[in-house]
């Protein structure tokens, strides 16, 4: 018998079940066409060509994904208006997170293609990950687990409440 600890994350079950089912398009395409309310899918903002959604497998509290509605695999496949809107939504996500969670820094990036770490390689998405000094701890190093100190619905409400009402002159 091993000393393996079980960490229960029941809130992830629905995503695991629906994310692994077949269907048309990526998990993001299925998400935006699901008909579910944004509060259930954790979509915190919808713009003209993209949306911002909480990552339900977050690296840290407030981990956002900014995703174009159109399913493309690479940033150079976006139309100019989509590219401009994408970065405006990324910027507004940073503004909302600064206000809602006061992070000390951010990791912002795109993994294009499976070799680059793209988990949904067929559908471009930008990670906006708020970071704090000391937010990595022994759980990640020794238990291959992460601890997230805030429930997704609480994070959703905090970010949604702080989302800017305009693109602040971008785009």
CA–CA separation, 18 vs 34, rounded Å? Answer: 11
Catalytic residue list contains 125 = yes
Do the Cβ atoms of 46 and 38 come closer than 8 Å? yes
CA–CA separation, 32 vs 120, rounded Å? Answer: 15
CB count, 10 Å around CB of 100? 20
Given the residues 45, 63, 123, 125, select the one marked as catalytic. 125
Do the Cβ atoms of 30 and 22 come closer than 8 Å? no
Write the CB contacts of 64 (distance below 8 Å, at least 6 apart in sequence).
Answer: 44, 52, 53, 54, 55, 93, 97, 127, 128, 129, 159
- For the annotated catalytic residues, the residue numbers are 125
């Amino acid at each position: 018998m091993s000393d393996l600890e079980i960490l229960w994350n029941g809130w992830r079950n629905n995503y695991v079940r629906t994310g692994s089912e077949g269907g048309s398009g990526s998990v993001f395409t299925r998400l935006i066409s699901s008909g579910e309310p944004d509060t259930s899918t954790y979509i915190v903002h919808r713009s003209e060509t993209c949306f911002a959604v909480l990552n339900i497998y977050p690296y840290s509290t407030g981990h956002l994904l900014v995703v174009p509605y159109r399913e493309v695999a690479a940033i150079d496949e976006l139309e100019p208006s989509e590219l401009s809107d994408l970065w405006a939504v990324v910027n507004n996500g940073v503004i909302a997170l600064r206000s809602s969670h006061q992070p000390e820094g951010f990791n912002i990036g795109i993994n294009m293609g499976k070799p680059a770490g793209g988990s949904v390689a067929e559908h471009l998405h930008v990670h906006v990950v708020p970071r704090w000094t000391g937010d990595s701890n022994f759980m990640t190093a020794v238990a291959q687990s992460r601890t997230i100190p805030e429930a997704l619905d609480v994070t959703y409400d905090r970010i949604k409440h702080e989302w800017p009402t305009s693109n602040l002159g971008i785009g």
